[in-house]
Amino acid sequence: MSDPILNLVSPAPKENLNSKLAENIMLSLTRRHAAEKRFRVYGVLAISLAVSCLVILFSSIVGNALPGFQQTTIKLPIMFEQMLIDPEKTGDSKQIAKADYIGLAKKSLRSIFPYVEKRRDKRKLYGLISSGSDFVLRDMVLADPSLIGKTIEVTFLASDDVDQFYKGKISAEVKEADRRVNDKEVSWIRALAAEGRLNKEFNTTIFAYGDSREPEMAGFLGAIVGSIFAMIVTFLLAFPIGVSAAIYLEEFAKKNFWTRLIEVNINNLAAVPSIVFGLLGLAVFLNFMQFPRSAALVGGMVLALMTLPTVIIASRASLMSVPPSIREAALGVGASQLQTVLHHVLPIAFPGILTGTIIGMARALGETAPLLMIGMVAFIVDVPTSFTDPATAMPVQIYLWADSPERAFIERTAAGTMILVGFLVIMNGLAVILRNKFERKW
């Protein structure tokens, strides 16, 4: 007869243990699968949030920028009167350049709106066209003196207020006291539009001229040229110095305390705020070395200092990625260490080096803070023609326009941002193309 006490302490049947173990395993798998699903959901949500923010950002920029690539123009019949331009018929270009060309435009406006008689109303009427209209007429006559005595249709830039009203940025439904265009100006604008004298055209000014206080005359060309000059200086300094430093540290320098200290400092410099490099450039290049202020040469030197750590780190990483067998094979057939590096290691690492350099320069292209410190925030009207001319850069020009009170500069700011983003996309795309072209598969 079995003892009931022994039955109480006897082990559970094997079938029960197996079923409990299987149940625990299934429960654990269920929890793990649920955790994986939650992780995937979190990842999708994070990516969706990032993409949504990017879409909102670019939609805002593009929405404001597209009107900036259009400019309202006014077509007026201009009589190039001999008595006003060259009464003595001398043909002297200096005499022709001094003529009252804005008076010709005003006379044309008065002929279209003869009922405007009050002095205040006339000032408003003349304000429909850009303040730079006289330069348009002067340049036309200087380029073709045969225009004197003729009447032709000339296209002028509309003022920024007319431009904003015609684009719908200023509503006529708003109270007259709350808008920059009064009711009389609205009637004149509508009359010009009804006669077909008011049109929206592609804004060539933004790609053809430098900055201006008048929004309709403000261009981005000076900033583009200044950035190109600065990037040339940056590349000529950062690329050879950075690559040479990387080759020495990776291939020739002995691994000791000093080289480790240099490596740590290079890595730390890559994380230093960019404005620190601007302060360094201000102290060394401007105050000590007396280089010209607000010049692309100094801007490029400051950006080169900022880009150097990135170039060195990327170059060292590319050199380390070269298989050791390449070095061993070259040394085994009698090549010197210098020959091994220059003829075998460097060509293989070159795609990565070039990619890192271009990415570093793309980052430098979008920097504003170091350029502000060396004076490239100045108002520059003329397009620079050399590395030492006063210049500005694309991000600085965008900063200046964003700080301007006129409503039309909002469009210019967004348009400049799109141009800058376009340059960055081109540079990053070039880095990818060059890497794929020269990269060797192992």
For residue 10, pLDDT over 60 is answered with no
Which amino acid is it at 212? S
What pLDDT score was predicted for residue 9? 47
> Is residue 114 pLDDT above 60, yes or no?
yes
Element (DSSP H or E) covering residue 356: helix 346-365
Confidence of residue 6 (pLDDT cuts 50, 70, 90): very low
**Residue 14 pLDDT:** 60
Chain CA centroid to CA 426, Å:
11
- CA atoms lying within 13 Å on the CB side of residue 171: 3
Q: How far apart are CA 189 and CA 195, in angstroms?
A: 10
How many Å apart are CA 117 and CA 338, to the nearest integer?
A: 85
Quote the pTM value. 0.84
**Looking at residues 268-290, what average pLDDT do you find?**
90
Per-residue buried b or exposed e for 302-317, using 16+ beta carbons within 10 Å of the residue's own CB: bbbbbbbbbbbbbbbe
Tens of pLDDT, residues 296-319: 999 999 999 999 999 999 999 999
Query: What is the C-alpha separation between 399 and 408, in angstroms, rounded?
Result: 15
Give the Cα separation of 230 and 122 in Å (integer): 46
Q: Is 8 helix (H, G, I), strand (E, B) or coil?
A: helix
Over range 131-140, report the average pLDDT.
89
Statement: residue 177 has pLDDT above 80: yes
Who's near 103: CB < 8 A, 6+ residues apart?
A: 84
Burial 71-99 (b: 16+ CB within 10 A, else e): bbbbebebebbeeebbeeeeeeeeebeeb
Q: Half-sphere exposure of 198 toward its Cβ, with a 13 Å CA cutoff?
A: 20
CATH architecture of 221-438: Orthogonal Bundle (1.10)
DSSP reduced 3-state for 199 = strand
Domain ranges of the chain: 68-203, 221-438
Buried b (16+ CB within 10 A) or exposed e, 187-216: ebbeebeeeebbbeeebebbeebbbbeebb
Is-contact 80 151, C-beta < 8 A?
yes
Tens of pLDDT along 196-236? Answer: 999 999 999 999 899 988 888 999 999 999 999 999 999 99
- Could you tell me which of 296, 265, 299, 266 has the C-alpha nearest to residue 281? 299
